[in-house]
Amino acid sequence: MYRWLVFFHVLSAFTFMMAHGVSANVAFKLRGETNRERIAALLDVSLAYQGFMYFSLLIMLLTGIWLGFLGEWWGYGWIWVSLALFVLEFLAMWAMGTIPFGRVRRAAGLPYFEGGKMQAARPPADPEEIAAQAAAIKPLPIALVGYGGLVVILWLMVLKPF
């Protein structure tokens, strides 16, 4: 059972990275875009993989917690630090990525998330505002925090240093 859970934990991590990679690539591409239709298309591609991303993230979290019980790891510091980093990284990605993406979606006249709920599309803002919101996304810091956090969590899980 333990090995199967490890398999599904790692598989869900790979699946998460694949699905979330779409949004990461969109973030880098958005900064140079000024055309509303192209921005809207990029945002729709990103949104199309969001459910898949969150599902795999949930499976990764649940299998990790289950593995913590089966392996009797809860008495070690590395698992608690990993879990804390997971939560902090989720919050950081939400603040650095999800909120700015929502602003671009709103400006582009697309349905957008606000207060945890999907809001109806509004008329698009002027092209300068749409381009400004797209340019406001900072993909490199987002990628560094996201990838860096995952590297630290991976290090903790594999080496179990404490």
Q: What is the pTM of this model?
A: 0.85
pLDDT tens per residue, range 89-130: 999 999 999 899 999 999 999 999 888 788 899 999 999 999
CA angle 15–156–61, rounded 5-degree value:
40
- Helix spans in the chain (H): 2-30, 36-48, 50-70, 77-93, 99-107, 127-135, 139-159
Q: Give the bridge partners for 118, in sequence order.
A: 113
Instruction: Give residues with Cβ within 8 angstroms of 29, minimum separation 6.
Output: 42
pLDDT in tens, 36-90: 999 999 999 999 999 999 999 999 999 999 999 999 999 999 999 999 999 999 9
pLDDT of 153 over the 90 cut:
yes
The token duo for 49 is 């993989």
Instruction: Output the average pLDDT for the chain.
Output: 94
